[in-house]
Each structure stands twice: as C-alpha cells, then as structure tokens.
RNA sequence: GUGGCUGUAGCUCAGUUGGUUAGAGUACAAGAUUGUGGAUCUUGUUGCCGCGGGUUCGAGUCCCGUCAGCCACCCCA
C-alpha cells in the first residue's frame, strides 16, 4: 500500500510546534484590540468573481494561482487567495459601515497555487487587518505602526519598513502613460518577462531583478515624482506621522504590489535574512476597492502578515517560544487495583476543579511511571502503593526539589488545590 | 511555469572505485536497586536506501523517468 502524504505545498503543524502559531495569533488578538480592532471570520471559499473584481483580472494571483472549482450546482467558486476581498464583501453584505472607522482583523488559511519553497506554501496562514472608512494619512501611519509594534512585541526586531505611493486612479493612469512613453523606444531591450509586463501592467516592470532591465528603469521617471499634488500631499503627511511615531522607514519607489486594488500608500515589512521570501507583512490603501465591489466610495487601508514566514524569522533568531500548558499533578499507582481506582477517581476530581492531572492507565512500574512524569514535566507526583494504602496516606513528591511528603487521604485534595490555585 | 541541488531509521547524517546479513549519533524501550525521574553504563527495537523502470552476475551506489523538499527566477504573506 502506498502511503498518502500531505499534498504538495501544504504541511502539518504538529503538536510540538503549534504553540508558535498560537503565540502569534494570541499576540495579534492582544495587540489589535489595543487599537480597537474586532475579529471577523469569513468563509475560506468565495465566488471567483469576488477576486476577479477585487484583486484584478490581470494579476498573477487571478490568472494562474487560484484554486478554482465548480460545486454541485455549477457555482464558480475558489479557495480564497487572500483576505481583504472577503472582508470587504462581508462589510458590504452586512452594512458594517458606521460613522467612525470600522476596524476589523482576521486570521486563517489562504490558498495559492505556486511552486513551493521555504516560506512559500500553497496553504499558508495570514493574520490581517482592515481599517475602513477614512482616507486620512494619519490612519495610514497608525496602521503601519500597528504592524511595526506587533513585530516588536512578538520579539522580532530586525525589520525594515518599506514605503511607497502608487498614486490614485487618475494620476496612476497618467504615470503609466508617461512610463510607457519613456520606455517604449527600448522595449525590445528588456527581458521577455518585462516585455510582457509592459503590455499587462507597466508598473510591475519595477520588480524585475535583472540588472540590464533595472538600468533602463533607473532613468525612467519615478512614480513619487509623477503622482498628482493631492497624492504627494497625502504621502508627505503619512511620512510626517511616521516620523512623529519615530518609525524608521525606507522609501522604495519600486515597491509595486501585485494586487490591483491598491491606491496611494503601499508598504512592506521585510526580514531580509529570509532569502527571496522575505516579506513578512505587506499592505496598503485601497480607496476604490469597495466601490469596485458594488458599494459606495469608501476608502480603506489594511495589511496581511504571513504567519509561517514570521515563525521562520523568529526561529532564525532563536526565539524562546512560550511553553505549552504544564502538568500540575501526575498520579502513580503501584501494586493493588484499589490504589489505582482511588487515583483514577482523584484524577477526575482534580480535572473538575481546573487542575491539570494525568494518570498511567497501564499499571507500569513505579520507575517507568516516574520517567513519564518527568517527560511530561509534571510539577508534582502523587504515589500510592500498598504500604501507603494501609496507613491511609499518599506520597506527594515535588519533581523540582525531589522533596517527598506523607499526606493523609482526607487532607490531600485541599492541600494540592491550595498549592495550585492559591 | 523555468533552471539547479538534494532524497538512507521518528530526527540529524555516514555509507569508500557498484560486491554478500545497511551504519553512527539522537530518540524510544528494558536493565544496572524486585517501590522512586533527570546523570552514567549495558542491552535491545526501528529501514519497500522516496517511487517506477533500465544497465549489470550483482545497484543505497550508475542511467532514465516520476514524486517530494530546498535554492534562484517568477510571484508573494
């Protein structure tokens, strides 16, 4: 029989490492709530058209990376490749708009059919944030400070914030025309990929890593110079507010995100030692997206973080992850069935009072049970054998100090309870 | 989707120019004290040598294919 393995690009998060994901999620809940964000959970599959309209028809994600399928009634569905579109759909569907800014966060799996690599999976976990209802540049800075502070508090310090503006609907279009005009005479000198990008989405040419292409682009007009006065002013205000918060950032006029919905501010958080998959969070403003999905003209801004990449980053700097919940009591019965039954019941009593407790069901030797207790990192052990049974006592052993006391049956439960839950 | 590297015990990895029953460390189990863990020592268990085909008297070792992981591109979190 051939073994069935996890499908390509997916992975199991095993019990000994799941605490890392839990830590990052809990940290997010804790910090996001300080900023007023409420959790939202949306389905992991949606209609294809949501992403075609939201992310954009010409993007790689929509063109070749979505897991699409028909359901039994022929509905055109797909696994969500990202979180923002679904959250916006829910925002519209349930009329979540109010006078103030609607602040939402989500966490969960995203799916993209890509060639797997370390830090790039076909199913990966994202934690994301959306702030809907304001076009104020100070909100951009607040959102960037949120990611930034999250990483600091999670213990990841060597991060880089990269910032850019891709302009608004109007001036971006103009810039694209200017850029095309400037590059047109040399198109054939670019690499085949770039030539395709030239027609599909000129802006993406900036992402090319081939030196020859970059040389041409160095002479091309910069987007930050070409955007309209309003967008310039917006960017200037974002920078001013970031300075106010003392957040270091680097302008990167080549930072062009691969999702069409971005307008004005775009940013990325880089952890450079991760190799080519070094963006651990990214986001930007999307002032036209909600309108694009059939709503009013409501501006918004958000970002998403890649949990698996953050785990890689934190592991690489030797992060000490919080231990999983420890075991308070390990019950060891030796010899008679009567001792086992007594402890079996006691185990249940401890658990009912909220004290973690474990017992060996196999009646093994005292030695091997103690070894197990040690491996489970039990704080204390209760030993009950024939000798103790006769005297009406148990042995209460502290696993840290090795100190062992004789405790009467009738005092045992309250004494342990007092120690564990003071 | 393109190019490259790798694939041997649960984990980390040896395995000589193809040669007989495939190794180490670690982990696991038992024992060294017939009722006392963490250290040390002893012993033991664990392998479709990723999968399929080919060359050969003989393949973990060579060749082809395939699958998977990794690296770069691409893309992105």
- Could you give the 3-state DSSP secondary structure of residue A128? strand
Question: d(Cα A397, Cα A386) in Å, to the nearest integer?
Answer: 17
Cβ–Cβ < 8 Å for A66, A123: no
Q: Name the band, by pLDDT with cuts 50, 70 and 90, for residue A2.
A: low
What per-residue confidence (pLDDT) applies to A203?
75
pLDDT at res. A361? 83
As a whole number, mean pLDDT of residues A59-85 equals: 94
* Strands lying side by side in the sheet with A378-384: A357-359, A327-333, A378-384, A393-398, A404-408
Which of these, A20, A74, A75, A65, lies nearest to A43 by C-alpha position?
A: A75
Strand B–CB A134 distance below 7 A:
no
Mean pLDDT of A279-306: 95
pLDDT at A198 over 90: no
Q: Give the CA-to-C1' distance from A416 to B56 in angstroms.
A: 72
Contacts of A348 by beta carbon, 8 Å cutoff, 6+ apart = none
Task: Report chain B positions within 7 A of protein CB atoms.
Answer: 1-2, 28-31, 35-38, 48, 67-77
Q: How many Å from the CA of A375 to C1' of B25?
A: 21
Q: Which of residues 216-245 of A touch strand B (CB under 7 A)?
A: none
Q: Which residue is nearest to nucleotide B74 (CA to C1')?
A: A193
Beta bridge pairs of residue A381: A330, A397
Determine the Cα–Cα distance for residues A405 and A61; give it in Å rounded to an integer. Answer: 65
User: For the residues of A11-57, what is the DSSP string, one character each?
Assistant: ----TTTHHHHHHHHHHHHHHHHHTT-EE----SEEEHHHHHHHT-T
Share of chain A above pLDDT 90, in %: 66
- Out of A20-34, A318-332, A355-369, A373-387, the most confident range is A20-34
d(CA A415, CA A329): 12
Q: Which residue is nearest to nucleotide B29 (CA to C1')?
A: A368
Most confident of A202-216, A227-241, A253-267: A227-241
Domains of chain A (ranges; CATH) run 18-168+227-316 (3.30.930.10), 327-415 (3.40.50.800)
- The H or E element that residue A250 is part of is strand A250-251
Average pLDDT over residues A8-36: 93
Question: How many Å apart are CA A290 and CA A54, to the nearest integer?
Answer: 8
DSSP A217-228: HHTSPPHHHHS-
- The interface pTM score, or ipTM, of the predicted complex is 0.87
pLDDT higher at A377 or A78: A78
Only one residue has tokens 């704080």, namely A379
* Residues A397-411, mean pLDDT to the nearest whole number: 92
Buried b (16+ CB within 10 A) or exposed e, A110-125: bbbbbeeeebbbbbbb
Average pLDDT, integer, range A275-279: 90
Nucleotide lying nearest to A5, CA to C1' measure: B68
Distance CA A301, CA A340 (A): 60
Query: How do beta strands A357-359 and A327-333 pair?
Result: parallel
pLDDT of residue A209: 67
Q: pLDDT band for position A320 (50/70/90)?
A: confident
Edge-to-edge, what's the strand order for the sheet holding A263-270? A38-39, A102-111, A123-132, A300-306, A279-285, A263-270, A160-165, A250-251
Looking at the DSSP bridge assignments, the partners of residue A302 are: A130, A284
The pLDDT value given to residue A194: 74
DSSP A157-177: ---EEEEEE---HHHHHHHHH
- Please give the average per-residue pLDDT across A193-222, as a whole number: 73
Lowest mean pLDDT among A75-84, A197-206, A366-375, A390-399: A197-206
């Amino acid at each position: 029989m051939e073994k069935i393995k996890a499908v390509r690009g997916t992975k199991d998060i095993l019990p000994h490492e799941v605490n890392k994901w839990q830590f990052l999620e809990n940290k997010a809940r804790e910090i996001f709530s300080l900023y007023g964000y409420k959790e939202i959970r949306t389905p992991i599959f949606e209609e294809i058209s949501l992403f075609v309209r939201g992310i954009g028809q010409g993007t790689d994600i929509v063109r070749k990376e979505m897991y699409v399928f028909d359901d039994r009634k022929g509905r055109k569905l797909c696994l969500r490749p990202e979180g923002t579109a679904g959250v916006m759909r829910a925002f519209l569907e349930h009329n979540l708009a109010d006078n103030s800014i609607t602040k939402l966060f989500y966490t969960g799996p995203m799916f993209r059919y890509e060639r797997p690599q370390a830090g790039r999976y076909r199913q990966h976990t994202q934690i994301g944030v959306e702030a809907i209802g304001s076009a104020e540049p100070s909100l951009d800075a607040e959102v960037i400070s949120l990611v930034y502070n999250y990483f600091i508090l999670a213990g990841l310090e060597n991060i880089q914030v990269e910032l850019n503006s891709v302009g608004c609907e109007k001036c971006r279009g103009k810039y694209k025309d200017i850029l095309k005009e400037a590059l047109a005479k040399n198109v054939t000198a670019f690499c085949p990929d770039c030539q395709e990008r030239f027609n599909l989405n000129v802006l993406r040419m900036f992402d090319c890593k081939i030196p020859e292409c970059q040389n041409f682009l160095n002479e091309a007009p910069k987007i930050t110079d070409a955007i309209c006065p309003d967008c310039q002013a917006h960017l200037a205000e974002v920078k001013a507010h970031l300075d106010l918060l003392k957040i270091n950032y680097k302008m990167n006029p080549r930072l062009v995100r691969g999702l069409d919905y971005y307008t004005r501010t775009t940013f990325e958080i880089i952890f450079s030692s991760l190799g080519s998959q070094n963006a651990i969070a990214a986001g930007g403003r999307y002032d036209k997206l909600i309108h694009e999905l059939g709503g009013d003209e409501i501006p918004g801004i958000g970002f998403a973080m890649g949990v698996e990449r953050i785990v890689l980053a934190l592991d690489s700097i030797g992060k000490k992850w919080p231990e999983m919940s420890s075991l308070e009591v390990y019950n060891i019965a030796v010899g008679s069935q009567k001792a086992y039954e007594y402890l079996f019941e006691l185990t249940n009593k401890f658990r009912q009072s909220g004290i973690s407790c474990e017992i060996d069901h196999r009646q093994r030797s005292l030695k091997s049970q103690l070894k197990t207790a040690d491996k489970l990192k039990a704080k204390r052990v209760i030993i009950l054998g024939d000798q103790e049974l006769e005297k009406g006592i148990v042995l209460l052993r502290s696993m840290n100090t090795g100190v062992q006391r004789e405790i009467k049956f009738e005092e045992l439960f309250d004494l342990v309870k007092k120690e564990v839950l003071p």
